[in-house]
Structure 1
Amino acid sequence: MSKKNLYALCFLFFATFMTLPQSFAQNIPRGINLTGKERIWERQSFEAKEIIQDIQVLRDNGFGSIRLPIAFDQYLNKDKNFLRELKQVVQYTESNEIVLILAYFDHGLDNNNAQRQAKSITRNWRKVLKNIESDSKNLYIELVNEPNINPSVWEDIAPKIIKGVHKENRKIPIIVGGTNFNSLFELSRTKPFDFQNIIYTFHYYEPYIFTHQGTEWTGKQNATLGIPYPFQQNKMPNLSVKAKGTEGEINHRDYALTGNKTAVIDKISQISTWAKNNQVQLWCTEYGASHNAAKDSRIAYLRDVEEVLSTYKIPGFVWEWEGNFGIRELLNK
């Protein structure tokens, strides 16, 4: 496929984001996750040249906002060149007016170590920010990715981390999500923190039985393959025998109600109402569907989520360019 045709196809998939929502003093273009540097088990080196080349490819495909998941503990502890390489990436995105989110993965938070880990996360963020110019205009940090701890614990330690970050850089916009893996439902039960320059985030993978079908790491509940989007009775597969007795059985039964755009609107409208009522900024820093789903279904799902996010003026970041949920394969097939 030629570069011209590739861009045209990308435009058709993601055209709804050409009307840019407002965030603080700037517009936020279409966003995507540039994954790979969060996978600590692969022990990849962090090389600015490689990351910048990937960002250039994304920009050529119409993405002007990049979320960069990073295993900060891994690189800060084991890669002596990490801060220097990261600074080069930030300098590139700044000079090219590309929005960049640095997202803290591998934080290791749990209910038992929360206070200790919060101090470690704070130290690491301060190291990172000390290394980067404080007047960055297009840089955001996501405090931690998908905290999965008791909400009361998270609401106790998150302000402590934010205060620590502010000691290094009071102006840096900080992105914060709710517990239960950045659940929009948990976020909707949260009272906003009393800080300036806070953006709230949620991750959207509903309905899970479609977006995570066949993913081994989510267990037997999502073992059923061939689930279409939107729901079509004549195309629905039988429930996998592996999913019987799990939540997947209930999700399969209810898919006629959850597997459509109306359900997407219902859920996202609720968190949008929460944001408006609390007068806070709201982003969706992850949404997507596994490549185990059929290509046409994935395209239909991404388009619906994008259109709904655009309707509610919520900037969105597709998960991901390459990988198990990679959209690059949608454009190249």
Structure 2
Amino acid sequence: LKDMAPGRVALEPVNEPPQDCTSEVWPKVQAALLTTARGSAKDLPLLTTGGCGSMVRGLTALDPAPLAEFEPILFTFHFYEPYLFSHQGAPWMGEPVYRALNNVPWPASAGSLEQTLASVRARMADDTERSDEAKKAAYEETEKVLKVYFDAQPDRRFIDGYLAQVSDWADGHGIAPGRIIMGEFGALRTDARYTAAPNPDRARYIADVRQSAEAAGFPWAFWDLFDGMGMMDDITRALDPAMVEALGLTMPPT
């Protein structure tokens, strides 16, 4: 990448480092990677991040001062808050509540605890891999966390509050918001088999996150083209007009 246009290309050495948010190990690992990269490419922008999967609290725990020697650098964070919405039904999440989560509304005021729990029960009924005992324990935990979700009534103000932490961090370190990239955001589709009707919650969420990032001055990248979180149909690869609109883009001519 060293000979590519520095205004068009940047190198991100690691995607979502797994170390703790306040880990003393990750800054050392990152510095070693950046040293190697800068030794080969003098002008290529390097993308830096905090620990704990590049979450907001990982970035805000990062001290950018030692990274100044690697300029030009950019900073990145990923945004999927609240995970109860964005990762509903995610099979890769370790917590037992996510597997059967479905029909979680955005904003929370667009639905109800009772409707969401009914969809959770329907999805659990079709789960033949977990025992009844495991599903019972998972349901009890799911009921608890969903009650917290609906009591909190998250909406775009919730997103703005999270991104304000990044803005405060940037202001405190004299970093222009245009140098901070929201490198991933998105949400899984609700499984239509367990809902009464299709809903626009995912598009509302994606529009809210995108608009909040733009209001804060952060460039962004969406995750991803397809595979449940994308802006295309998983089978036909056709663009989803609702996702295109939520991202502030326009459909290509047919």
Q: TM-score if structure 1 supplies the norm length? A: 0.56
Shift of 1:199: 1.1
Shift of 1:270: 0.9
1:262-301 equivalent positions in 2, closer than 5 A: 262-280=157-175, 281-292=179-190, 295-301=199-205
Shift of 1:144: 0.5
- 2:144 and 2:13 map into 1 onto residues whose CA distance is 34
Q: Is the CA contact 2:80–2:86 (under 8 Å) kept in the aligned structure 1? A: yes
Deviation readout 1:166-211 (Å, 9 max, x if unpaired): 1101211111221111111121111112331111111100110111
Shift of 1:134: 4.9
Aligned to 1:226: 103
Deviation readout 1:224-275 (Å, 9 max, x if unpaired): 21111110275331265463465x5553122132631111010011111101
- 2:184 and 2:174 map into 1 onto residues whose CA distance is 22
Highest RCO, 1 vs 2 (Cα 8 Å, sep ≥ 6)? 1
Aligned to 2:83: 208
Aligned to 1:253: 147
Q: Is the CA contact 2:189–2:229 (under 8 Å) kept in the aligned structure 1? A: yes
Deviation readout 1:91-112 (Å, 9 max, x if unpaired): xxxxxxxxxxxxxxxxxxxxxx
- Verify: 1:331 aligned to 2:206, yes or no: no
Between the two proteins, the alignment pairs up a number of residues equal to: 202
Q: Is the CA contact 2:6–2:43 (under 8 Å) kept in the aligned structure 1? A: no
Q: Secondary structure at the match of 2:167?
A: helix
1:57-76 equivalent positions in 2, closer than 5 A: none
1:221 maps to amino acid = V
The 1:210/1:178 distance shift into structure 2, 3 A limit, reads same
The 1:251/1:258 distance shift into structure 2, 3 A limit, reads farther
1:210 maps to amino acid = F
1:29-48 equivalent positions in 2, closer than 5 A: none
The 1:228/1:135 distance shift into structure 2, 3 A limit, reads closer
The correspondence for 2:12, drawn from 129, 135, 142, is 142
Q: Secondary structure at the match of 1:316?
A: coil
Q: Is the CA contact 2:75–2:180 (under 8 Å) kept in the aligned structure 1? A: yes
- State, as a whole percentage, how many aligned pairs show the same letter: 23
Cα RMSD (Å): 2.2
- 1:143 and 1:233 map into 2 onto residues whose CA distance is 40
1:153 maps to amino acid = V
2:167 maps to amino acid = S
The 1:326/1:262 distance shift into structure 2, 3 A limit, reads same
The correspondence for 2:71, drawn from 171, 177, 196, is 196
- 1:269 and 1:258 map into 2 onto residues whose CA distance is 19
The 1:322/1:234 distance shift into structure 2, 3 A limit, reads closer
